[in-house]
Amino acid sequence: MRSYLEATDFWGSASAEALASEFGTPLYVYNERIIRSNLKRLSGLITKYPYVTNYSIKANSNLYLLQIALEEGLSADAMSEGEMRLLLKAGFPPEKIFFVPNNVSADEMKFAVEHNIIVSLDSIDQLDLFGTINPGGKCSVRLNPGVGAGHHEKVVTAGKNTKFAITDDQLDEMFATAAKHDLRIVGINQHIGSLFMDPEPFLKSVVNLLEMAMKFDKLDFIDFGGGYGVPYHKVSEDEQPFDFDSFEKKFEALLDGFVEKAGYVPLFKTEPGRYAFCEGGVLLGRVHAVKTNADRKFAGTDIGMNVLARPTLYGSWHDVEIIHDNKVTTDDPEVITIVGNICESGDIIAKERLLPKITTGDLVCVLDAGAYGYAMASSYNVRRRPAEVLIQLDGTPKLIRRADTWEDLFRGFEI
């Protein structure tokens, strides 16, 4: 087992203990060097054609991290009015924002229209509603290419059994609805699901979407969605990263085929979320109790399911490293379950893992926590969401979001 934290010099000039004592635990810590390198990989994906990467900010919407994504040349997609507002606040111009909602009100659509943000509609009803508020306008439509993929059924968003998108057999009705409101469909988009390491389903969806694209008048853009996987088992099983180089070649070949057949070059886009920030984020927590119930050993930490929901919600695996006396330890491995401080038995961060011996006072580092970590945190059990710290390029830490205060939690009662 190789230490990711040591191999990447993750804490920069700080140390885990120094960060924990300055900012408290639990704490989300991000490494700017790792983040920028992953963002560069994404923004340079397709070089042969006009190409844009929309960072899908639902994965991590920290304002400062959004600004780094903007600096690295990424555009963004938003799922809600809140995400649009945050992107505008971060400095994204409207033309770099793509609103890809699902089941939203006319008011939420109006916000986009009034701010010149292009909207994608993902059902005939939503297209109809959009037509009533913006007749004669332009929009995109989200299509279901018939293939889905993802790490869990809850995050597969195309193929059968999904609430998302417009299917092939609905296209005639869709065109009729657009015509009724004189809407111009200038783009199509898809998102097949989240986290694939095998690119084949995605490539198949590209083929299908490009076939569907032939049924449209000349499109300004075609957006293939996100989903590129991250190796969550890189420390425990030496899992290899997503092979972008071979993926890029196959992807580009499909685009070549479309350009030749369609006779024009649209702007191509993808929409990754997880890949951008996942590996650049570590969640740091403190062990407050170690105990053995029946024959199961538990390490009780301050990382509750309210801080990181993924293991509880999807049974997701995150590699874990243990820090004892301010050093990564590999001593005396034993099987242990790491849990949080929430009053549910499902409040588990890492189940029955072979890990170095853990004692009270140690620090637990949950790897690959930069995506869908803080973004899905809550104040369940009236707990304050943690702070976020960025290890900057010069190695020094900077607070990029303070922890919730009690006042933050009680503000809603001031009525």
Which residues of this protein are in contact with ligand LLP, per CB under 6 A?
Answer: 56, 58-59, 77, 100, 155, 157, 191, 194-195, 225-228, 271-275, 310, 372
Specify the residue, 225 or 370, whose C-beta has the smaller distance to ligand LLP.
Answer: 225
Specify the residue, 226 or 356, whose C-beta has the smaller distance to ligand LLP.
Answer: 226
Q: Which has the closest alpha carbon to 195: 275, 139, 302, 269? A: 275
Question: What's the min distance (Å) between Cβ of 12 and ligand LLP?
Answer: 26
Catalytic-labelled residue, pool 139, 278, 343, 365: 343
Structure tokens at 370: 């930069």
Residue 186 contacts by C-beta under 8 Å, 6 or more apart in sequence? Answer: 118, 138, 139, 140, 219, 220, 221
DSSP string, 338-351: EE-SSSSTT-EEEE
* DSSP state for residue 185 in the 8-state scheme: E
Residue 139 appears among annotated catalytic residues: no
In whole angstroms, what is the distance from residue 262 CA to residue 304 CA?
52
Question: What's the min distance (Å) between Cβ of 188 and ligand LLP?
Answer: 13
Q: Find residue 355's DSSP bridge partners.
A: 334
Specify the residue, 32 or 271, whose C-beta has the smaller distance to ligand LLP.
Answer: 271
Question: What's the min distance (Å) between Cβ of 123 and ligand LLP?
Answer: 14
Specify the residue, 189 or 341, whose C-beta has the smaller distance to ligand LLP.
Answer: 189
Question: What's the min distance (Å) between Cβ of 141 and ligand LLP?
Answer: 13
Question: What's the min distance (Å) between Cβ of 157 and ligand LLP?
Answer: 6
Q: Which has the closest alpha carbon to 390: 40, 59, 67, 47? A: 67
Structure tokens at 108: 């939420």
Q: Which has the closest alpha carbon to 243: 226, 229, 254? A: 229
In whole angstroms, what is the distance from residue 403 CA to residue 412 CA?
17
Q: How many CA atoms does the CB half-sphere of 323 hold within 13 Å?
A: 22
Specify the residue, 120 or 329, whose C-beta has the smaller distance to ligand LLP.
Answer: 120
By annotation, the residues acting in catalysis are 343
